[in-house]
Amino acid sequence: MSTIPTHTFPLFVVPFLIGLLFISVWLLFLFLKWIGELDRNGLVKFGQNILTKKTLRAIGEVFMESLLHRKLFRKNPLLGYMHMCFAFGWFMIILIGKLEVIAYSGKITARPYVAIFFKHFVSPEEKFVRSGMYSFLMDFFLLMILSGLFLAALKRFRSKTLGMTHTTRHNRIDRWTLAFLWLIFPARFLAESIASGSEGYSFLTGQTGRLLASFLPVQQMEIPFWWIYSIALFGFFILLPFSRYMHIPTEVAYIFLKNWGLDKRRVNRGFTNFEIYSCSRCGVCIDVCQLKTQAGIGTVQAVNFTRDIRSGSLCEEDLKNCLMCGRCNEACPVGIDITLQKQMYRGQFARFDKNEFTYLNTPTPAEQSTVVYFPGCMSSLSPGIEQSMVKIMEQAGEDFKVLGDEQRACCGRPMLLSGNTEAAQKLIAFNRDFILSSNAKMLVTSCPICYKMFRENYQLPIPVLHHSEYLLQLAETGKIEMEKQQLRMVYHDPCDLGRGSKIYDQPRQLLQQAGTLVPSNFERENALCCGGSLGNTKINQASKDKITKHLVEELSAPNPELLATACPVCKRTIARHSSIKVMDIAEVVAENIRKKTIQPNVKEEFESLLK
């Protein structure tokens, strides 16, 4: 065992130490402040779960996501590799560096800077237990980081190489932070190589050192390079909290909070901050946003939203110009729930008038029935859907009641999406009372917007079914049968049904009983928004049209005879631009339903004719 000489305190470690101290204190202060802003429920969860295996799960997730960047890898392998090189490589260098010092000195309590500037203190000739292996690993991970750096530089100058059409622009602080970050490892590489001189540590620094020593006066260059390395670390640490790179420490904390079960659905500024600051500004959300790709609106994407909040420059216009389609939620490698965040922030701009909806206070008691069918305002605009549902339920012999427009109010989701929670609550209360007064066993709706709302915000004691689920049940229990046609169909996933409620299979299974489904380029999680979203109150018709036209092109590409969907808004929006017929699944079912031999309603009609 050897000891590091205690008298050596090289001055160049000072910048590094100041930086380290600064960032530690700053992060501690900030995170504690945000935790203090959590609501009671959040704090309770925090206390309850900190000592459970949820913490272990969080550690696992930090490793997979923050270090290995698994999700980003799946979205974009090259970009994932680049991030992994930096994160995992750096982490390993810190870890192995620490172990190396322990192996060298036999003590765990070495001063923090020793591991960082190890090669200054220990010359290559000094051998200790597995010193060769440590040198090799340190060189290996250094090489890994440098390869990531190479890709990062490539991305900066040619983003298309990494499969991205749009990337984010850096502000001045970001640029400086990036410059320091990029400087750290080349400086370390050169400093170590020079320190190794003609002796050499391992394959990378050793070889380079030998090469440099052959023509340069390396002896005089070592200290200046350690200075550069230390200053680069200092600069990075000092600027990090004010730059986009703040996401690195925040995401780690965010993953822990998420695993401890903190509920985003509550207005919870403490948690929101962790989420917003976890955005790495990777820009993945730009390419998936149809407002950007189709309508050329480039100021409203998730990445702009998080930036605007961080810089305090969020404006109503941008906040409300969003389809709330959730494509960015699905794409974001950090897993930020952008639409929920936007919904919460929209509350700042919502005005609630107490006199609104006063007419709702006079509910008439509902008639009793087993199934309550709630067409929703949007299905009323597409009456074919409601008619088809009635036809099917009659044929199936169901005991049902359709809630007419006197007996229901809007489900409240448009209000909620616009941030007007109070107004939404009024509507919820009205509908909820009415639905419950019917003593129904199940609530069926043909509108994905209502469906999501009923499931998430109504706390109903009875099952809520989207009509695709309900019709599939009817088909599976033999209550209805369909005639399978020679019909080529493409199915379009509505945002609130697919990404919003994870209903992908039921409509497809149902359609397959009526014809043949052919795939389009945008299916399931990856489905496009139709552009008719109720969540966007700022978009103009021309932009909407661009989005819809592109969708219709994509859906029509496989040459189907029918475009099927499961949402009245999608249906109407698509139909406006489609030369191919557009139908709701209920209409498809109703059209192809096989007539049963005895139909109660036919009998009744016959009898009334005889009178």
List interacting residues with ligand SF4 (CB under 6 A).
279-285, 288-289, 291, 300-303, 306, 322-328, 331-332, 334, 336, 338-339
Task: Choose from other proteins, ligand SF4, none: what does 565 bind? Cβ within 5-8 Å by kind.
Answer: none
Give the one residue of 163, 404, 519, 600 binding other proteins; rule: CB under 8 A. Answer: 404
Interface region with other proteins, contact rule CB under 8 A, candidates 144-152, 191-199, 311-319, 378-386: 378-386
Q: Which is nearer to other proteins, 196 or 382 (CB)?
A: 382
Contact 566, 467 (CB under 8 A): yes
d(CA 593, CA 590): 5
Q: How many residues bind other proteins (CB under 8 A)?
A: 13
Least separation in angstroms between residue 545's CB and other proteins is 8
Whether residue 522 contacts residue 473, with contact meaning beta carbons closer than 8 Å, is answered with no
Q: Which does 387 bind (CB under 5 to 8 A by kind): other proteins, ligand SF4, none?
A: other proteins
Applying CB under 8 A, which of residues 159, 380, 425, 512 lies at the interface with other proteins? 380
Complex with other proteins: residue 292 or 577, whichever CB lies closer = 577
What does the per-residue mask of binding to other proteins show for 534-563, with x meaning CB under 8 A?
Answer: -------x---x------------------
The listed partner (other proteins, ligand SF4, none) that binds 306, CB under 5 to 8 Å by sort, is ligand SF4
CA gap 531, 551 in Å, rounded: 9
Stretch of 50-58, 224-232, 274-282, 380-388 lying at the interface with other proteins (CB under 8 A): 380-388
- CA gap 523, 526 in Å, rounded: 5
Q: Is 387 an interacting residue with respect to other proteins (CB under 8 A)? A: yes
Q: What are phi and psi of 581, to 5 degrees?
A: -60, 140
- Of 166 and 572, nearer to other proteins (C-beta) is 572
Q: How far is the CB of 550 from ligand SF4 (least distance, A)?
A: 13
Q: Output the CA torsion sign for 510, 512, 517, 523.
A: positive
Residues 450-509 that bind other proteins (CB under 8 A): none
Among residues 15, 11, 12, which one has the least CA distance to residue 23?
Answer: 15
Site pattern 313..352 for other proteins (x: CB under 8 A): ----------------------------------------
Shortest spacing between CB 573 and other proteins, in angstroms:
9
**Shortest distance (Å) from residue 59 CB to ligand SF4:** 21
Report the C-alpha gap between 197 and 424 in whole angstroms.
72
Examine residue 390 and tell whether it contacts other proteins (CB under 8 A).
no
Which residue type is seen at 542? A
Binding of other proteins by 384 (CB under 8 A) = yes
Specify the residue, 100 or 587, whose C-beta has the smaller distance to other proteins: 587
Closer CB to ligand SF4, residue 377 or residue 495?
495
| SS3 sequence of 55-87 | HHHHHHHHHHHHHCCHHHHHHCHHHHHHHHHHH
**How distant, in Å, are the alpha carbons of 14, 95, 436 from that of 24?**
15, 18, 55
SS3 582: strand
Q: What minimum distance in Å lies between the beta carbon of 405 and other proteins?
A: 6
Q: Which stretch binds other proteins (CB under 8 A): 138-146, 276-284, 328-336, 568-576?
A: 568-576
Q: Please, which residue, 290 or 520, has the CB nearer to ligand SF4? A: 290
Q: Please select the residue that binds other proteins; options are 524, 575, 591, 596, rule is CB under 8 A.
A: 575
> Which is nearer to ligand SF4, 183 or 350 (by Cβ)?
350
Q: Is 477 helix (H, G, I), strand (E, B) or coil?
A: coil
What sign does the CA torsion over 506, 509, 515, 521 have?
positive
**Is the four-CA dihedral 278, 282, 287, 293 of positive or negative sign?**
positive
For the bound state, the minimum distance from the C-beta of residue 384 to other proteins, rounded and expressed in Å, comes to 6
Which does residue 89 bind out of ligand SF4, other proteins, none, counting CB within 5 to 8 angstroms by kind? Answer: none
Alpha-carbon distances of 447 from 271, 273, 400, 450, rounded to whole Å: 31, 33, 17, 5
- Given ligand SF4, other proteins, none, residue 382, with its beta carbon under 5 to 8 Å by kind, binds other proteins
Task: Judge whether 66 and 91 are in contact, CB under 8 Å.
Answer: no
450 binds, among other proteins, ligand SF4, none (CB under 5 to 8 A by kind): none
From the CA atom positions of the chain, what is the Rg in Å?
A: 31
Whole-number Cα distances in Å, 548 to 292, 385, 479, 574: 14, 21, 36, 6
Instruction: Compare residues 381 and 557 and give the one whose CB is closer to other proteins.
Output: 381
Interaction partner, residue 280 (other proteins, ligand SF4, none; CB < 5-8 Å by kind): ligand SF4
Selected binder of other proteins within 51, 405, 459, 610 (CB under 8 A): 405
Q: Nearer to ligand SF4 by C-beta: 287 or 386?
A: 287
Residue 516 tokens read as: 């043949």
Which lies closer to ligand SF4 via its Cβ, residue 100 or residue 308? 308
For 373, list phi and psi in degrees, rounded to 5.
-105, 120
Pick one of ligand SF4, other proteins, none as the site partner of residue 332 (Cβ within 5 to 8 A by kind). ligand SF4
- The one of ligand SF4, other proteins, none whose footprint includes residue 364, by CB under 5 to 8 A per kind, is none
The Cα angle at residue 261 between residues 257 and 264, in degrees rounded to 5 = 80
Decide whether 338 or 566 has the Cβ nearer to other proteins.
Answer: 566
- What is the three-class DSSP state of 583? strand
CB 545 within 8 Å of CB 513:
no
CB of 438 to other proteins, least distance (A): 18
Q: How far apart are CB 69 and ligand SF4 at their closest, in Å?
A: 11
- Rounded to the nearest 10 degrees, the angle between the axes of helix 203-213 and helix 131-157 is 80
391 forms part of the interface with other proteins (CB under 8 A): no
State the minimum distance, in angstroms, from the CB of residue 380 to other proteins: 5
Is the Cβ–Cβ distance between 253 and 284 less than 8 Å? no
Going across the sheet that includes 562-565, the strands are 516-517, 488-492, 562-565, 581-584
CA distance 267 to 287: 29
Three-state secondary structure call for residue 491? strand
Binding site for other proteins (CB under 8 A): 380-384, 387, 404-405, 541, 545, 572, 575-576
